[in-house]
Structure 1
Amino acid sequence: MNAHESAPRVVVGVDGSPSSHAALRWALRHAKLIGGVVDAVGAWEPPSHMGWSAPVVDHSFDREVAERRFADELDRVLGEGRPVEVRRTMVMGEPSDVLLNASRGAELLVVGSHGRSGFTRALLGSVSVRVTQHATCPVVVARAD
């Protein structure tokens, strides 16, 4: 077992929103303080799952597109010289479920206060509200800078 396998994990949800960028930066600072690693987690859903009022328009959107966008976003926000190890994970699924699963056994879960949610999620409650109610570890909700 290497040092990173036993290091505390800080899981952060990344969805492209300004508040998720703030959450990522917060998670990096915290992980550095505790000698941990950051698990940056993104969730993607096929476009047909994102809304209920319109037919799917972009049939080309798939896992590869989601992963490329996720990697580009992380590279843009993180830049050079990361203070801690950042592991990237992109999972197909509903964002709050993905984050709750990823945060099992973690030291901390960090999410943004407002993400890129659709109208149906606004009716059902935001990801940050759901994870604060159901996470098995402490949760930090970061606001955009």
Structure 2
Amino acid sequence: MDKDVSEPRVVVGVDGSASSYAALRWAVRYAGLLGGVVDAVTVWELPGLYGWSAPAVDMDVDEDEARQRMRQELTDVLGADAAGAVRTHVVHGNAADVLLRAGEGAEVLVVGSRGKGGFARALLGSVSQHVSQHASCPVVIVRSEAT
């Protein structure tokens, strides 16, 4: 991610959940008010392998296809014009760690209140809770419109 841009950066985590789509829409509106840019970050990791040192693991993930899916997802949520102005990043790693690094130097880090996993009744997901406690920039947590 280009963190040396002159415009203010708004970083948003997108994971396909309703609250991440609400966060994406919020981030685009806020960046418009600031005259800034939006960095939409999608993180992927292979569950159970984080920190595991296997000598050979088949990590057959097509990152180009993931980027194309993300671009289509942004178009579906924002419309073609707004989606075209969003910079996309598909990153391998732990979601909380990747978002914290992406948020360094940003005006704000925006996340949905909860992702696709976890407990349906939880007020905050583990990633949104972690970044809210450890980010070096302000954090905005957005609930989905459906809740």
TM-score by length of 1: 0.79
- Per the alignment, residue 110 of structure 2 pairs with 110
Q: CA offset at residue 85 of structure 1?
A: 2.9
Q: Who is 2:96 aligned against? A: 96
Deviations 1:65-98 (A, max 9, x none): 4333322211211212329831100100111111
The structural deviation recorded for 1:63 is 2.8
Task: Note the residue ranges of structure 2 that are not aligned, 5 or more in a row.
Answer: 51-58
Give the Cα separation in 2 of the matches to 1:5 and 1:20.
24
Counting helix residues as a fraction of each chain, which structure ranks higher? Answer: 1
Hey, what does 2:54 align to over in structure 1? none
Where 2:81 maps in the other structure, the secondary structure is coil
C-alpha separation in 2, matches of 1:6 and 1:84: 19
Aligned length: 130
Distance 1:113 1:98 in 2: 17
Distance (Å, rounded) in 2 between the aligned partners of 1:7 and 1:84: 17
Structure 2-normalised TM-score? 0.78
Identity of matched residues, %: 57
Give the Å deviation of 1:144. Answer: 0.4
User: Which runs of structure 1 show a deviation greater than 6 angstroms over 4 or more consecutive aligned residues?
Assistant: none
Measure, in 2, the Cα distance between the counterparts of 1:140 and 1:84.
23
